[in-house]
Structure 1
């Protein structure tokens, strides 16, 4: 939360200076709007590390290695994703929703069996996640950890917040649970864009060593894009690895 605290302190300092100088009212409004804008931007862009440290890439990676990540499963489409990963000898990281784990435990088992990494993506993936209290965030994370641990894996140490939203409550909860927050630097927008070619081109132009790609294993559209992407990465001699290998950090508690 260092960036947020610095911004807040700067905001307070400027207010005090404005009071001393007796400046025009619109300057107060301007600095307030700037502060709100920066805080909102920091909440929704996980790469900024505004409220919490997030690993969004490995900028020191020199080899052609990249991490593919999938959010919101396990899902029926996860099976097709796994088929493609197996076909192209690629490994990936899956950020799983607790409620989805309960619906498709057998798919989660296959993810683990085939050597992919699993992370926590909350229990409900609620659209109101950004308004959750610290205790609510912590509870959702811990319940999902328990579900994952019950499926024969150790406690996962990776957490990705729904929609990439961070705020002081999320930061406090993560400080208590001890997870590493995983972001991305290549966002496919595969849940927003309908045109498969546009999604693929969006990813392709941003590919570089050390990148983390955000995809969702929940639609046939993404499956079709994935095959194009895997063919491209293979032709460019990229190795598709899990996030823990890319970042050289632990994915599970020892």
Structure 2
């Protein structure tokens, strides 16, 4: 089944216009049961923090901002080609790990007039990392450092993965001179691409959402990474731009829409120097809470663990191993013993594993290597006492 871009254009030409209004609100329905923040929470925070937390522009100018999350990726160049062809500038909320992975794409986007912003380092739910400032140190700060390293400045704007931020985190952003940028129109491109295996169908669905809910001073959410493909999003963008222009809309970047400075005024050149002391608190916390979906915050994808008896590679293998230990020793607790030592990207720390009653299960020393991104790349385990 094939749907022409003409069908998308036709549907957009007859979209019903909605005016921007106060208070700011989410126009599109939330996709149910997919772990997204509720509209009520977003709207309350936008009202409570009007100069730090944004859903849309405050006026009724026929200006809209296209935004793209999660990249850069192998799909971003094709999207940049479309935006260049149509002379549209967009705002990209990118993950720090991908900024480091695709530095040339980052530089190209900046050179072509797009605006860059922070979308965390590895896309966790930041609201669950508030304790110990892990959300800031291991996610936002690391991404700021990645941008500093690649393009020489740090962004003022960020977008929280899944839309989740606690009020205290918003206050921290405010103190750091940053702003949280959410959205008023969620294209749900990830959802429609997931649900529709035919790209043309998915593209029409994406464009249909935007045409139904577009309004003056809208911030539109889309993605340039994640899912099976971003081709439907790129096709929808190519079709939507001329149709929305025909309706009188002008495309701007988020900083232009909200009258924000996109770069921190004082960007300290702070290259990424991974420190073991920053990483270990979260490392031990994850071991003790078995948060298997968060290992990417501290381990590289190809993390290697080696001991005298076994060797394993990858986050999944390590996560499965830890799940087995938790099943074998319910209530176990891994503790650091003494201070960690580090020279450049090599480190050493001692640990002990206790059972629920505080009895010693095992103890040892780990010799580790950190990656440029500040995660554990490998660990050699030297047991002083074997697992009982």
Give the TM-score, by structure 1 length. 0.77
For these two proteins, the number of residue pairs brought into alignment is 212
Residue 209 of structure 2 aligns with which residue?
A: 202
- Aligned-pair CA distance for 1:169: 4.9
Residue 143 of structure 1 aligns with which residue?
A: 142
Unaligned residue ranges in structure 2 (runs of 5+): 1-36, 194-201, 266-388
Residue 45 (structure 2) pairs with residue 49 (structure 1): yes
Conserved? CA contact 1:45–1:164, under 8 Å: no
Conserved? CA contact 1:185–1:213, under 8 Å: yes
Alignment of 1:176-191 (within 5 A): 176-191=175-190
Alignment of 1:103-114 (within 5 A): 103-114=101-112
Residue 243 of structure 1 aligns with which residue?
A: 254
Residue 191 (structure 2) pairs with residue 192 (structure 1): yes
Matches of 1:186 and 1:91 in 2, distance apart? 18
Structure that is richer in helix per residue? 1
Residue 126 of structure 2 aligns with which residue?
A: 129
Residue 260 (structure 2) pairs with residue 231 (structure 1): no
Residue 156 of structure 1 aligns with which residue?
A: 155
Residue 216 of structure 1 aligns with which residue?
A: 223
Alignment of 1:25-104 (within 5 A): 41=38, 45-49=41-45, 52=49, 53-62=52-61, 64-104=62-102
Conserved? CA contact 2:64–2:216, under 8 Å: yes
Conserved? CA contact 2:185–2:210, under 8 Å: yes
SS in 2 for 1:151: helix
What do the CA deviations read for 1:181-207 (whole angstroms, capped 9, x no partner)? 111100001111132212111111111
Give the TM-score, by structure 2 length. 0.52
Residue 10 of structure 1 aligns with which residue?
A: none
- Aligned-pair CA distance for 1:146: 0.9
SS in 2 for 1:192: helix
- Aligned-pair CA distance for 1:213: 0.3
Matches of 2:252 and 2:171 in 1, distance apart? 30
- Aligned-pair CA distance for 1:49: 1.2
Conserved? CA contact 1:88–1:230, under 8 Å: yes
Conserved? CA contact 2:45–2:167, under 8 Å: no
Q: Residues 175, 244 of structure 1: CA spacing in aligned structure 2 closer, same or farther, 3 A cutoff?
A: closer
Q: Residues 156, 235 of structure 1: CA spacing in aligned structure 2 closer, same or farther, 3 A cutoff?
A: same
Conserved? CA contact 1:90–1:239, under 8 Å: no
Matches of 1:169 and 1:103 in 2, distance apart? 31
Conserved? CA contact 1:149–1:155, under 8 Å: yes
Unaligned residue ranges in structure 1 (runs of 5+): 1-39
Query: CA RMSD of the aligned region, Å?
Result: 1.9
Conserved? CA contact 2:126–2:165, under 8 Å: no
- Aligned-pair CA distance for 1:221: 1.5
Matches of 2:76 and 2:140 in 1, distance apart? 22
Answer with 1 or 2: which has the greater Rg: 2
Conserved? CA contact 2:90–2:114, under 8 Å: yes
Matches of 1:177 and 1:246 in 2, distance apart? 21
Residue 314 of structure 2 aligns with which residue?
A: none
- Aligned-pair CA distance for 1:141: 0.7
What do the CA deviations read for 1:12-57 (whole angstroms, capped 9, x no partner)? xxxxxxxxxxxxxxxxxxxxxxxxxxxx747x84343167541111
Matches of 1:152 and 1:124 in 2, distance apart? 19
Residue 119 of structure 1 aligns with which residue?
A: 117
SS in 2 for 1:150: helix
- Aligned-pair CA distance for 1:172: 4.6
Structure that is richer in strand per residue? 2
Higher RCO (CA-CA < 8 Å; seq separation 6+): 1
- Aligned-pair CA distance for 1:176: 4.2
